[in-house]
């Protein structure tokens, strides 16, 4: 261009030279530039639960990179024909369309793959949404009936089955700052009235069947032990002396370690970023998952620090996996972590995404299925994250297995305590038994002092 400008005086009248020079400069400045950006997924596709026959559902992905960008959607690893936009529109939803969807974004530099989005397709039958009929029939009879055991005009949390004295439930009536006791016949009484602003939330039994609780109110912010009507603190702060924001829910391993979450609810205190402007003086730097040994509070450690608002948690039956629900978004995910025998935690991939609202309390059954509370009931997932089905009722906050054989599911929330018989026991029913097999001789050892179980006989067969 500079050579052309220098040549202008020889071919154009001098008074037009300035005009041509301005035009040439404008041409250089206005010429479109090639924009180069790092190729990456900026918005991931979201897992969904939809009813069979739904007219339309859409999966979306966003990406940045060097334009033009290309997209290709995949279903269970196979390219979807003509699915080359950032949005995948699915119509006339059928069960055959349930599975794993990913999107690949590409530009001149290469390609990048999105996270997996699972599409679960269910059929509504009475109070149930059934995603996998074969698996659902293994865990719940479609003739099973819900029983409303109590109604409280309050937010209810932390339900746990106490097997002693014939068996009963204890749960947290957060709205009235009291622990309640409910026997299966429906009699409701106060179990414990803690000091004001204590706000008990999650509850569990330790290996000696004593009640361990999370106290989330500003007068507590601790993990407590209750036995014979007396409550004492087990853990009041981190090893650095920093306080927790609001201990929420608990799980316990057979090695005696207690794991609990701190999502920052109920205390009314300022929270750390991104929920507050700065870390409050004297408090932990974030909302984390912790672990400590019951007989030594100084062993408390942050074990998960990269979740938004960790809430419910439970272990797989073999205690090799830890599931943690996250209520920082809606619909919210449940993440799964690998746990080594020395309690090192790795992983944290999304195991499943709740279909309605955020997951709060979660429990595992003896076969490793996850039963999660949801905005409108309880959602049940296979060990690979597939939706098995759903029990539809009102907003549910927490749940537990109980009854003589741990085959009753108890659910609490707003404003009901509800139960339903199921066909599979909760994982707690096998964690309390220690067994060993020598030849065809089975030895059963019971934790002290008791478990509340009736001893069951097992036919191991005869050696041939």
What are 297-342's pLDDT values in tens digits? 999 999 999 999 999 999 999 999 999 999 998 889 999 999 999 9
Query: For the chain, first and last CA: distance in Å?
Result: 96
Sign, CA torsion 371/376/140/99: negative
Q: How many CB atoms lie within 10 A of CB 171?
A: 26
Q: What is the pTM of this model?
A: 0.83
The string of pLDDT tens digits covering residues 71-83 is 999 999 999 999 9
pLDDT score of 209: 86
Length of the chain equals 464
Contact 198/215 with Cβ under 8 angstroms? yes
pLDDT score of 459: 39
Q: Which CATH class, in words, describes the domain spanning 40-123?
A: mainly beta
Q: Which of 14-28, 167-181, 314-328, 355-369 has the lowest mean pLDDT?
A: 14-28
Q: Phi first, then psi: what are they for 371, rounded to 5°?
A: -110, 120
> Where does the pLDDT of residue 454 fall: very low under 50, low under 70, confident under 90, or very high at 90 and above?
very low
Please state the domain extents for the chain. Answer: 1-31, 40-123, 126-428
Q: What angle do CA 327, 397, 273 make, to 5 degrees?
A: 25
Say if residue 31's pLDDT is above 80: no
Across 5-26, average pLDDT: 44
250 sits in the region (left: phi over 0; alpha: psi -120 to 50; else beta) called beta
Contact 452/402 with Cβ under 8 angstroms? no
Q: Which of 35-44, 178-187, 350-359, 443-452 has the lowest mean pLDDT?
A: 443-452
Say if residue 23's pLDDT is above 50: no
Q: How far is CA 274 from the centre of its chain?
A: 20
Distance separating alpha carbons of residues 322 and 313, to the nearest angstrom: 7
Which residues lie below 8 Å from residue 194, measured CB to CB, with a gap of 6+?
Answer: 177, 178, 179, 200, 215, 220, 231
> Where does the pLDDT of residue 464 fall: very low under 50, low under 70, confident under 90, or very high at 90 and above?
very low
pLDDT score of 437: 65
* CATH 2.120.10.30 is the classification of domain 126-428: yes
Nearest to residue 213, comparing CAs of 205, 221, 224?
A: 224
Across 120-146, average pLDDT: 96
In the chain, the largest separation of any two C-alpha atoms, in whole Å, equals 113
Please name every residue paired with 426 in a beta bridge, in sequence order, or none if there are none: 365
pLDDT score of 35: 55
Q: Which two tokens stand for residue 349?
A: 């991939």
The string of pLDDT tens digits covering residues 223-262 is 999 988 899 999 999 999 999 999 999 999 999 999 999 9
Say if residue 344's pLDDT is above 70: yes
pLDDT score of 449: 47
pLDDT score of 410: 98
Residues of the chain with pLDDT > 70, as a percent, come to 85
């Amino acid at each position: 261009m500079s050579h052309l400008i220098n040549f202008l005086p020889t071919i154009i009248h001098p008074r037009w030279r300035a005009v041509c020079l301005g035009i040439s400069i404008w041409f250089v400045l206005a010429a479109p530039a090639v924009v180069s950006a790092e190729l990456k997924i900026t918005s991931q596709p979201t897992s969904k639960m939809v009813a069979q026959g739904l007219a339309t559902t859409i999966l979306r992905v966003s990406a940045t990179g060097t334009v033009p960008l290309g997209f290709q959607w995949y279903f269970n690893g196979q390219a979807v024909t003509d699915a080359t936009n950032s949005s995948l529109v699915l119509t006339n939803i059928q069960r055959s369309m349930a599975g794993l969807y990913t999107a690949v974004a590409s530009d001149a530099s290469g390609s990048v793959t999105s996270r997996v989005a699972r599409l679960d397709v269910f059929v509504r039958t009475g109070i149930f949404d059934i995603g996998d009929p074969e698996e659902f029939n293994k865990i719940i009879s479609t003739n099973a009936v819900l029983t409303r055991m109590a109604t409280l005009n309050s937010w209810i949390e932390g339900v746990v089955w106490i097997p002693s004295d014939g068996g009963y439930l204890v749960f947290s009536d957060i709205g009235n700052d009291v622990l309640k006791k409910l026997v299966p016949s429906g009699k409701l009484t106060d179990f414990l009235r803690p000091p004001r602003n204590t706000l008990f939330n999650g509850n569990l039994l330790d290996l000696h069947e004593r009640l361990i609780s999370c106290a989330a109110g500003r007068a507590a912010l601790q993990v407590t032990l209750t036995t014979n009507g007396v409550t004492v603190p087990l853990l009041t702060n981190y090893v650095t002396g920093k306080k927790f924001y609001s201990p929420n829910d608990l799980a316990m391993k057979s090695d005696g370690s207690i794991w609990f979450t701190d999502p920052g609810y109920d205390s009314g205190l300022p929270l750390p970023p991104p929920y507050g402007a700065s870390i409050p003086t004297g408090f932990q730097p974030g909302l984390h998952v912790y672990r400590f040994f019951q007989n030594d509070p100084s062993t408390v450690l942050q074990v998960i620090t990269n979740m938004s608002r960790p809430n419910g948690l439970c272990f797989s039956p073999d205690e090799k996996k830890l599931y943690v629900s996250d209520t920082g978004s809606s619909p919210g995910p449940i993440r799964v972590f690998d746990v080594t025998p020395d309690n090192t935690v790795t992983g944290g991939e999304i195991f499943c995404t709740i279909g309605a609202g955020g997951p709060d309390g979660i429990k595992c059954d003896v076969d490793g299925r996850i039963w999660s509370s949801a905005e409108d009931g309880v959602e049940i997932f296979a060990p690979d994250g597939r939706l098995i089905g759903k029990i539809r009722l009102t907003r549910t906050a927490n749940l537990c297995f109980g009854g003589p054989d741990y085959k009753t599911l108890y659910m609490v929330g707003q404003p009901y305590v509800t139960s339903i018989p199921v066909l599979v026991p909760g994982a707690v029913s096998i964690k309390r038994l220690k067994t060993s097999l020598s030849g065809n001789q089975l030895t059963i050892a019971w934790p002290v002092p008791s478990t509340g179980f009736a001893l069951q006989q097992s036919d191991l067969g005869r050696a041939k």
